Amino acid sequence: MNPNRADVLVLGGGIAGLSAAWVLGRYLPEATIGLLEQADAFSEVGAGIQLGPNATRVLYDWGLKSALWEVAAFPLLVHARDAVSGSEKGRLPLADRALQRYGTPYATVHRADLHRMLLERVKAHGIEGQLGQRVEQVTLTEQGARLTTQTGVSWDSGVLIACDGLWSRTREQCWSQAPAAAFTGQVAYRGMVRMAALPEDLRRSEVVVWLGRRLHAVHYPVRAGEWLNVVVVVHGDRPAEDAGWDHAATEEALFHALGPIHRDLRRALEAVPAWRLWPLFGRRPVRKAGDLVQGAVALMGDAGHPMRPYLAQGAAMALEDAWTLGRLLESRSSAAVDWPALLQRWGELRWRRCGWVQARSTRNGRIFHATGPLKWGRDLAMAVMGERLMDTPALYAGPPFPA
């Protein structure tokens, strides 16, 4: 028998994989849970992430409220402005309003802080994780799945929770009809700057969204308000190096891509000491449970439902995936788990919401970057409907509780 055997294997140690591993450790204390990661250390990129009330609800439910409050910022509002004139287009109060409306806050965090929080939970369950395990081959077997790494080591498991990201080997090899991710024609410039290094009038506890023609920028505080995270999305070519999504970038190229912009936005961008470039890829939204589950194999996080960043929900959906899995494990009627049935149920609960969020994210991108009549209609709708247009109750009130 293969000594590298686990009752359940989680592939990938990003936000999705750590969340899934923690939930498995919590609800299946007797089971052996394996966690495989290709990198030589568990880590996340140096960038921020917004967590809507649906995501913070999951973290609160997992007992991570105080850990979140130590590292997060809690912006007072989302402030939409015109990228050229600087005029206000809309406001959505967050802070108390989000708490009153949804019961949990709207938070902004550094990815590494969220990742560390989850990793600590995983380790507390005795799941150490196997690093440097780049899986090349994923094969479905009668007993579950066999994973073979670049160095020829094989891992067997009755159940595979694949959280191996946008370029998922699992999806590529086990969902052979599924189309691969395609470049969207858009690239994201990302950077961070210390609040103290910004002009004083720009040090605000706000998510500022700058809307321009074929571009938008977002900045918000992270690290308990000590840093500002900045993202600028423009239309552009894919960097020459393939696949990997983190590339060096220059301020010069960024300003060239942006053209004329408002002084406040320019000053915020000029303060950022270094830029990274991420080409954005997309896949069509999931359409059925079978897009996420096959027997005892499930695709979670970006492996299953990658999305454009315009709704800031990719990581939130990964957290919801794991939370839903946890709920199903918690409410099962017997100690033994019927994995194909449980994962099928999980897929039925998740595909509609994830597919909707994927489609909505793409639609938001078109609205954010609008030109011509669409831009005119957007600005009018924002002026008339204000915060009702900027809020997303069906999203933030989630995740739906499995009946």
Ligand X SMILES: Cc1cc2nc3c(=O)[nH]c(=O)nc-3n(C[C@H](O)[C@H](O)[C@H](O)COP(=O)(O)OP(=O)(O)OC[C@H]3O[C@@H](n4cnc5c(N)ncnc54)[C@H](O)[C@@H]3O)c2cc1C
Contacts with ligand X by CB under 6 A lie at 11-17, 36-39, 49-50, 133-135, 163-166, 169, 188, 231, 278, 280, 301-303, 309, 312-316, 318
Give the whole-angstrom CA distance, residue 317 versus residue 300.
9
DSSP code of residue 51:
E
Is the bond into 399 cis (omega within 30 degrees of 0)?
yes
**Least distance CB 132 / ligand X (angstroms):** 9
Based on CB atoms, which residue is closest to ligand X, 13 or 53?
Answer: 13
Element holding 195 (H helix, E strand):
none
**Least distance CB 3 / ligand X (angstroms):** 19
**Least distance CB 390 / ligand X (angstroms):** 15
Burial of residue 389 (CB within 10 Å: 0-12, 13-18, 19+) is middle
**Least distance CB 24 / ligand X (angstroms):** 15
Based on CB atoms, which residue is closest to ligand X, 50 or 157?
Answer: 50
Based on CB atoms, which residue is closest to ligand X, 189 or 339?
Answer: 189
Give the whole-angstrom CA distance, residue 267 versus residue 234.
18
346 three-state secondary structure: helix
**Least distance CB 103 / ligand X (angstroms):** 19
**Least distance CB 335 / ligand X (angstroms):** 29
Tokens representing residue 160 in the block: 């595979």
Based on CB atoms, which residue is closest to ligand X, 11 or 337?
Answer: 11
For 128, other C-beta atoms within 10 Å of its C-beta total 10
**Least distance CB 313 / ligand X (angstroms):** 5
Provide the strand spans (E) within 258-328.
275-282, 293-294, 297-299
Based on CB atoms, which residue is closest to ligand X, 292 or 331?
Answer: 292
Residues 56/312, Cβ–Cβ less than 8 Å: no
Based on CB atoms, which residue is closest to ligand X, 108 or 344?
Answer: 108
Q: What angle, rounded to 10 degrees, do the helices at 111-124 and 15-27 form?
A: 20
Based on CB atoms, which residue is closest to ligand X, 45 or 381?
Answer: 45
30 three-state secondary structure: coil
Residue 238: closest CA among 305, 186, 175: 186
**Least distance CB 333 / ligand X (angstroms):** 30
Residue 217: closest CA among 239, 237, 188: 188
Q: How far is CA 343 from CA 238, 296, 321, 355, 398, in A?
A: 36, 7, 11, 17, 20
Based on CB atoms, which residue is closest to ligand X, 38 or 294?
Answer: 38
Give the whole-angstrom CA distance, residue 231 versus residue 229.
7
